[in-house]
């Protein structure tokens, strides 16, 4: 549920208008091109859906049932608020990490790129997650207070389309869909030239993070 709603809705809206800046290396070209275009990255959308269907969705079902077992919301409104806080702090911390890793692996990034990206951007993405959850907290409180456990995941997922869009943006803001690396004859890979178009021999296409 979480994957289908998050991957297919606001992640697509967030992708639709994006700015891509491509700069040629001085050894290839002195030009810099700035283009604004509407696109949809199907692989990115599918990676968000995969994370939701296989990781986040099942974890939400298990987590909400566990919260209800520990502190039933029927006891008091305070219990429902504790559920919301636990969801926003504990579960969201896990969801942010799995989004980085699952989407990165699905999109073809290497583990060393993902670990570096996670170390550098996890805290800022988690802060954005908490800020979004704080804004949505009144709606989530209503879901936890008045809905049975079997319906809470679905209801919260409709609310969390905004959260999904924010996290998708934060996770992908430093990623490029692809980076064209070309090598001149007799040149080591470490001296590879980054360029907009493969003007030299032996082009390689690898995913990379934007600087």
pTM of the shown model: 0.69
In a structure prediction context, what are the per-residue pLDDT tens digits for the chain, which is 211 residues long? Answer: 455 555 555 555 555 444 444 444 433 343 434 344 557 788 888 888 889 889 999 999 999 999 999 999 988 999 999 999 999 999 999 999 999 999 999 988 999 999 999 999 999 999 999 999 999 999 999 999 999 999 999 999 999 999 999 999 999 988 864 443 334 444 444 333 323 333 333 444 455 555 5
Q: How much is the pLDDT for 192?
A: 35
Rounded-to-integer distance, Cα 104 and Cα 109, Å: 5
Residue 206 is predicted with a pLDDT of 55
């Amino acid at each position: 549920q979480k994957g289908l709603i998050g991957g297919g809705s606001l992640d697509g809206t967030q992708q639709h208008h994006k700015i891509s800046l491509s700069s040629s290396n001085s050894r290839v070209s002195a030009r810099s091109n700035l283009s604004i275009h509407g696109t949809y990255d199907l692989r990115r959308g599918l990676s968000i859906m995969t994370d939701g269907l296989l990781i986040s969705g099942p974890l939400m079902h298990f987590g909400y049932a566990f919260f209800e077992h520990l502190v039933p919301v029927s006891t008091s409104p305070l219990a429902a608020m504790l559920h919301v806080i636990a969801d926003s702090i504990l579960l969201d911390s896990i969801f942010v990490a799995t989004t980085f890793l699952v989407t990165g692996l699905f999109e073809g990034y290497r583990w060393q790129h993902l670990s570096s990206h996670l170390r550098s951007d996890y805290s800022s993405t988690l802060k954005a997650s908490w800020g979004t959850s704080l804004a949505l907290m009144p709606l989530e409180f209503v879901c936890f207070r008045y809905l049975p456990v079997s319906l809470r995941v679905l209801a919260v997922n409709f609310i969390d389309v905004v959260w999904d869009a924010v996290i998708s943006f934060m996770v992908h803001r430093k990623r490029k869909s692809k980076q064209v690396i070309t090598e001149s004859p007799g040149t080591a890979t470490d001296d590879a030239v980054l360029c907009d178009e493969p003007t030299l021999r032996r082009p390689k296409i690898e995913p990379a993070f934007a600087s």
